[in-house]
A and B are shown apart, each in its own frame.
Chain A
Amino acid sequence: MRNYIIRRILLIIPILIGISFISFLLINLNPSDPAEVALRVNEIVPTDEAVTAMREELGLDKPFFQRYIIWLGNSLRLDFGNSYVNNKPVSGEILNALPATLYLAAVALIMTLGISMIAGILCAIFEDSIGDKITRGIIFVATAMPNFWVGLLLMWLFAVKLDLFPTSGMRGFTSVVLPATTLSLSYIAIYTRLIRNSMIQNKNENYILYGRIRGLGNWVIIKHILKNSIQSSITALGMSIPKLISGTVIVENIFAWPGIGRLCVSAIFNRDYPIIQAYIVMMATLFVVCNLLVDIFSAFLDPRIRRMT
């Protein structure tokens, strides 16, 4: 087990280097000169001297690889430079916005877990009942609904018409309900289906037949099925945590939630490259780390995976 973990951690180092290189490359491939953009967003006329001065200030006059190494070193110390717009450190801006996003994602995750578990288990127990059919219909529609539309409809119904929740912003607990519901809806659909199908599959296994012959009660049997079918869903859920966090971009923009997704979109409009770059690096790192944790967790549960790789 220890060897497996060490090997996996060593394997992500080249991936992380690749990620940092791509993030750096993207900024340097873009058609407009960062120095000129930095001047323009501050409403300074980009004369030749001003551009040259700015290039020196941003370190753009050095060769490409030297800049990459300097940038990589700074990034490791969480120093992503200053925002072009307000000249504040990017890491500070991101750390300010991060808690709101994590809060939203955590509530959405809890909702996904709770609702999809209950719905999935009930659907599997009462397979082909009316309730199961209705749930399956809802699941199918929910996966095809664009979540920005869901968000608008929820906002109209619960915030405008019924006035139960605030339409936007982050004030108190009630304000998180609508964004979190919007964010979790498609995940609830996916996991309800996953849990339902894997429980139904387990229902036909021999060990359940044996349990029934032994005369075990219904509840004990359901517990057995659940234990065996929940594992794959938990692994899949771990994989979707970074997706959940990156998926907040749209939801945050609809509900004016002060998180990193909104920060990133406004940075795109302002051409504030350091913030975009930091967002990319952070998200990709999060993705890699979450995958690593999920892999280690599944290896911990299932010794076969350890031997395989």
Chain B
Amino acid sequence: MNVWGKFKSSKLAIGCLILLVIIVLLGVMAPLVAPNDPVETNVREKLSGSSLQYPFGTDQLGRCVLSRLLYGIRTTVGMSILTMIITISIGTILGVVAGYFRGWVDEMVMRLCDVMLSFPSEVMILAIVGMLGPGLENIIIANIIAKWAWYTRMIRAIVVQYMGKNYIHFAKVVGCSPLHIMKKHLFPGALGEIVVLASLDTGTVILSVSALSFLGLGVQAPTPEWGMMLNEAKNIMITHPTKMLPPGIAILLVVSAFNFIGDKVRDIMDPKYVDRRVKKGDFAKSRKSISN
């Protein structure tokens, strides 16, 4: 399926992708592009407005807001992507094993997933942070534990679909080892769909990481993080309300870009969605409502 070709035809989706690439690059090159040290305090210049030295002004401790935003990409976006990669890896390993061997292995993994999924993920995250205590590593661990079950189940469903294909049967008949089949036949086929799963949910992880930091349960001062910057801005809301804008807008932009790409890719990957509407007639209208 030519996902990329269809994806390319949407200008807005390409725009979102470019935006995300730029943001990630800015995060990677933060030491080069940031005008100031993000943790250096300068009380004499505190809460100043926009100036040449501090383009977005300074916060309550006189730290450069722009530099903190740029370094914050590393914590907020970087850590969310890392969380996603680990979660998906765990989900892929368990899902492929469960979907390939079926039987008692499958049964065990799936029942474990059932129990994990009976916890709402917000409560699970809070529970684990509660046990481990506040901290960045702990909210990453919490997010992984809260989400792996869902991915395992989804990836297992994808794998089960592939297991019925003739080339897998053939590989089994000619005596390939299970590991070889998983690595060479199952995984490459399922990879595309797994990547889609990941892109769908990264926005949610960013929201979750920054929300926990906002509550003070995540990143600890003075590490720059967008959620925590908002928390600091909250305390000076009455005197300097504009300080709430930069971190809020940053989160909004990144999350909506991730969400838009996720929606777009899902529409492309799920031909059912388009076909059903086409059958009803009214083709032009349905295309339009999908692309919006």
A residues bordering B, Cβ < 8 Å?
15, 18-19, 22-23, 26-27, 29-31, 127-128, 136, 140-141, 143-149, 152-153, 155-156, 160, 197, 200-201, 204-205, 242-243, 246-247, 249-250, 253-254, 264-265, 267-269, 271, 273, 276, 279-280, 283-284, 287-288, 291
| Smallest CB separation, A250 vs chain B (Å) | 6
Since A18-B115, A19-B115, A152-B248 are in contact, a sample of 9 more A-B pairs with Cβ atoms closer than 8 Å, ordered by chain A residue number, is A23-B127, A29-B131, A148-B214, A152-B230, A152-B234, A152-B244, A153-B244, A201-B277, A283-B123
Interface pair B256/A276, CB less than 8 Å apart = no
With a cutoff of 8 Å between Cβ atoms, the chain B residues found around residue A249 in the complex are: 122, 126, 215
With a cutoff of 8 Å between Cβ atoms, the chain A residues found around residue B133 in the complex are: 268, 271
| Smallest CB separation, B98 vs chain A (Å) | 18
Bound: A243/B125 CA distance, A: 13
Bound: A242/B119 CA distance, A: 10
Q: Which 10 A-B pairs have the closest CB atoms?
A: A18-B115, A144-B256, A276-B130, A149-B248, A283-B123, A30-B131, A144-B255, A268-B130, A204-B280, A280-B127
B residues bordering A, Cβ < 8 Å?
114-116, 118-120, 122-123, 126-134, 203, 207, 210-211, 214-217, 227, 230, 233-234, 237-238, 241, 244, 247-248, 251-252, 255-256, 259-260, 277, 280-282, 285, 288-289, 292
- The residue from A26, A146, A291 contacting B252, defined by CB atoms under 8 A apart: A146
- The residue from B127, B130, B203, B244 contacting A149, defined by CB atoms under 8 A apart: B244
Interface pair A140/B256, CB less than 8 Å apart = yes
Bound: A242/B123 CA distance, A: 10
| Smallest CB separation, B200 vs chain A (Å) | 13
Bound: A61/B149 CA distance, A: 33
Bound: A280/B282 CA distance, A: 49
With a cutoff of 8 Å between Cβ atoms, the chain A residues found around residue B129 in the complex are: 268
With a cutoff of 8 Å between Cβ atoms, the chain B residues found around residue A144 in the complex are: 203, 252, 255-256, 259
